[in-house]
Amino acid sequence: MAEPKKLFIKTYGCQMNVYDSSRMAEAMSADGYVLTEDQAEADMVLLNTCHIREKAAEKLYSDLGRLKPMKAEKPDLKIAVAGCVAQAEGEEIVNRMPLVDLVVGPQSYHKLPAMARGEGPRVLTEFPAEDKFDHLPKRATRRAPTAFLTVQEGCDKFCAFCVVPYTRGAEVSRPVERILAEARDLVERGVREITLLGQNVNGWHGAGADGHEWHFGRLIRAIAEIDGLDRIRYTTSHPNDMTDDLIEAHGDEPKLMPYLHLPVQSGSDRVLKAMNRKHTAAEYLRLIERIRAARPDIMLTSDFIAGFPGETDQDHRDTLKLIEDVGYGTAFSFKYSPRPGTPAAGRECVPDDVADARLQEMQALLTRQQKAAQESMVGRRVGVLFEKTGRIEGQMVGKSDYLHSVFVEAPDARIGDLIEVEITHSAANSLAGKLL
């Protein structure tokens, strides 16, 4: 029998890319490719890229540069570029880097095996009408206890800074039955926690089995009915799509975890308007109040951008004030990066050193909040889903309901066990707990 061909995948960017990479691996396995962790032995290298900030996009080119000697030594090596840079730059990638054999955009992954066989175009970045997920082969093997499941793709929000509406296209929701079938299949193969994914996941909607139009909260309840599934999470949501039924689900659906990533980007109404976020800081705070009324212990996280064009010192202080007012469990903050083709790209930038200083100030505050949120867990009892063994003999590592990493001495436990533990200690980026 012929040796299986080896596929090395590097994934950049968000969880949707992580999900897509695993689906592409499955699609390629039908063509005899097995995954390898070792790039040097690969017959095909697939770079699944991110275009969100300049630094993310430039990583592709430095990685391609590093692949040159390997390709020179091994001319049969196939190099493929997928993801959001593929979508945004298309042909330009092969022009700039002729060593690239294939370029495939995020909506065309089902064509990747044919392209790799040489039966397709070299560059494919269409937005076909069909659902790529329909054409990807079903997963087959046993799975880790946690999994991603994409339910929605694309974005119609057009925030002034963001490339996603251009790289991922218009908002599309996958149909209820397909999502439920995939969720059931995951659970049958050992998954106990599913994270529902979408660029605007809470904007998901679709025709329900009962003949009614369902919103995202209803979908969560339907998934929660699957026996053997213990936890549901979702990301990323937009504040304007936090519907009443979703907020209610946070109050009374026990499988929905008390954790919500709800990016606000800025605490200044001027900047929010310039970003085209379509809500004010006060509206966001009022929304947080309603969510906390439904689920008082919910952990909130957000994304922030420092130095958006036109941002003044006062705007920046308004953002710090909003961060203080909300009290986040953790948050991501980024320096504004002008992206080609976006409305904000032509606007005058805040001086670099000013943006850097603001970013640092924001990150210092967010780090303090993260530390406080972790320390507040000490003495509490939380569920931990064990995902792997720790470095110390008998130690297990898993995630708490609030998504904190927790280390527990549990010699008899197995990966996939969900066990209540008492948190005993808070370290830099994790917690320690003991069995009860």
Which parts of this chain interact with ligand SAH (CB under 6 A)?
52-53, 161-162, 164, 199-200, 236, 238, 263, 265, 303, 305, 334, 336-337, 339
Q: Which two tokens stand for residue 25?
A: 């691996």
Query: Considering the complex, what minimum distance in angstroms separates the CB of residue 202 from ligand F3S?
Result: 16
- Give me the amino acid identity at 18: V
Binding partner of residue 158 among ligand F3S, ligand SF4, ligand SAH, none, CB cut-off 5 to 8 Å per kind: ligand SF4
Q: Is 164 in the site for ligand SF4 (CB under 6 A)?
A: yes
Reduced to 3 states, what is the DSSP secondary structure of residue 30?
A: coil
Which of 41, 58, 72, 158 binds ligand SF4 (CB under 6 A)? It is: 158
Residue 81 touches ligand F3S, criterion: CB under 6 A: no
Of the listed pieces 73-81, 145-153, 157-165, 415-423, which binds ligand SF4 according to CB under 6 A? 157-165
Structure-token pair, residue 266: 């800025």
Q: Which residues contact 384 (CB under 8 A, 6 or more apart)?
A: 398, 399, 400, 406, 408, 418, 419, 420, 421, 433
CA separation for the pair 238, 336 (Å, rounded): 19
Residues in binding contact with ligand F3S, number by CB under 6 A: 14
Cβ pair 83, 48 in contact under 8 A: yes
Size of the site for ligand SF4 (CB under 6 A): 10
Q: If contact means CB under 5 to 8 A according to the sort of partner, which of ligand F3S, ligand SAH, ligand SF4, none does residue 53 touch?
A: ligand SAH
Which helix (H) or strand (E) segment is 149 a member of?
strand 146-150
Query: Mask: binding to ligand SF4, 197-226, rule CB under 6 A, as x and -?
Result: --xx--------------------------
**Partner from ligand SAH, ligand F3S, ligand SF4, none contacting 167, C-beta within 5 to 8 A by type:** ligand F3S
Cβ closest to ligand SF4, residue 145 vs residue 263: 263
Q: Say whether residue 164 binds ligand F3S (CB under 6 A).
A: yes
Considering only residues 368 through 387, tell me which ones interact with ligand F3S, judged by CB under 6 A.
none
Residue 51 binds to ligand F3S (criterion: CB under 6 A): yes
The binder of ligand F3S chosen from 50, 104, 115, 377 (CB under 6 A): 50
55-76 core/surface letters (b: 16 or more CB in 10 A; e: else):
ebbebbeebbeebeeebeeeee
Answer yes or no whether residue 64 interacts with ligand F3S by CB under 6 A: no
Collapsing DSSP states into helix, strand and coil, what is residue 214?
Answer: strand
What is the spatial distance between Cα 292 and Cα 361, in angstroms, rounded to a whole number? 27
Does the footprint of ligand F3S cover residue 238 (CB under 6 A)?
no
Q: Where are the alpha helices (DSSP H) in 203-331?
A: 216-224, 244-252, 269-274, 281-294, 313-326
Q: Is 272 a binder of ligand F3S (CB under 6 A)? A: no
Kindly state the DSSP code that residue 379 receives in the 8-state scheme: T
Residue 309's nearest CA partner among 275, 357, 353, 265 is 275
Stretch that binds ligand F3S, among 48-56, 64-72, 112-120, 241-249 (CB under 6 A): 48-56
CB 125 within 8 A of CB 87: yes
Residue nearest to ligand F3S (CB): 13
R_g (Cα) of the chain, nearest Å? 22
The total of other beta-carbon atoms located within 10 Å of residue 140's CB is 11
- Residue 53 binds to ligand SF4 (criterion: CB under 6 A): no
State yes or no: residue 337 binds ligand F3S (CB under 6 A): no
Query: How big is the chain, counted in residues?
Result: 436
52 near ligand F3S (CB under 6 A):
yes
The answer to whether the beta carbons of residues 150 and 198 sit under 8 Å apart is: yes
Please name the residue ranges forming H helices in 74-111: 83-89, 91-96
Q: Show the binding pattern over residues 5-24: x = contacts ligand F3S (CB under 6 A), - = does not.
A: --------xx-xx-------
Interface with ligand F3S (CB under 6 A): 13-14, 16-17, 50-52, 83-84, 163-164, 167-168, 199
Sites of contact with ligand SF4 (CB under 6 A): 155, 157-159, 162, 164-165, 199-200, 238
